[in-house]
Amino acid sequence: MSVAETTTAAPLRVAVIIGSVRENRRGPAVTEWFLRAAEGYTGLEFDVIDLADVTLPLTLPDWGSSPDAETAAVLERVTPRLADADAYVVVTPEYNHSYPASVKNLVDWHRPQWQAKPVGFVSYGGVSGGLRAVEQLRLVFAEMHAVTVRDSVSLHGPWNGLGPDGEPRETVVVDSAVKNLLGQLDWWGRALRTARTVHPYEA
């Protein structure tokens, strides 16, 4: 079996990042629903990274300097998981027309881990369903040399649109959106993984 065939056949490792860290957040419930909706999609392995458990400081070390011991310990737990992922799904609310600082902080603490990998989005919040947060995150991930997939999942007003069990009250549209998102993430994830294996990406 060729290298391309081997990398294509292996399960795609997808890191699902819960972006909100505020009290009474809906991010975990939205993530649990998304994972249930994705259960029928074969060939994907999900690793949930909850940023509420990733206590990276807002102050980054100077260029060429190393983080302190406490920060290094946090990075040792999260960085290998990001590096091992073939693709990412960011579950993000919309705060003040944008995305949470916790998401940007995770991005800023890493760089090569994002490169030449696809990123998908599950967003929620208000009348826009978090789409304004997603539009801004597309610009951020482009700077990281990542590829954002076109289709996303958008939940409008999850505090009303989600039931007490974490399921959307109307599933037809969002289930179709999940299918589209995963299909594109799968294609790009496998194509870029093969490309990185055959010809490592250098930014």
Domain residue ranges in the chain: 11-55+69-195
Q: Look at the domain 11-55+69-195 and name its fold.
A: Rossmann fold (3.40.50)
Average pLDDT, integer, range 95-105: 96
The rounded Cα 76 to chain-centroid distance in angstroms is 19
Token readout for 61 is: 């070390």
On the CB side of 196, how many CA atoms lie within 13 Å of its CA? 25
Which has the minimum average pLDDT: 9-23, 82-96, 146-160?
146-160
Q: What is the pLDDT of residues 134-191, one digit of tens each?
A: 999 999 999 999 999 999 999 987 666 777 666 787 778 888 999 999 999 999 999 9
**Residue 144 one-letter amino acid:** M
**Residue 83 one-letter amino acid:** A
Q: What whole-number distance in Å separates Cα of residue 107 and Cα of residue 153?
A: 21
Least Cα distance to 60 among 109, 19, 21 occurs for 109
3-class state of residue 17 by DSSP: strand
H or E segment and range at residue 27: helix 27-37
Average pLDDT, the chain: 92
Q: Residue 75 to residues 68, 72, 79: CA-CA distances in angstroms? A: 11, 5, 5
Token readout for 199 is: 């010809």
Q: What is the pTM of this model?
A: 0.93
Angle, in degrees to the nearest 10, between helices 27-37 and 172-198 = 80
Percentage of the chain exceeding pLDDT 70:
94
- Please enumerate in sequence order all residues whose Cβ is within 8 A of that of 200, keeping only pairs 6 or more positions apart, or say none: none
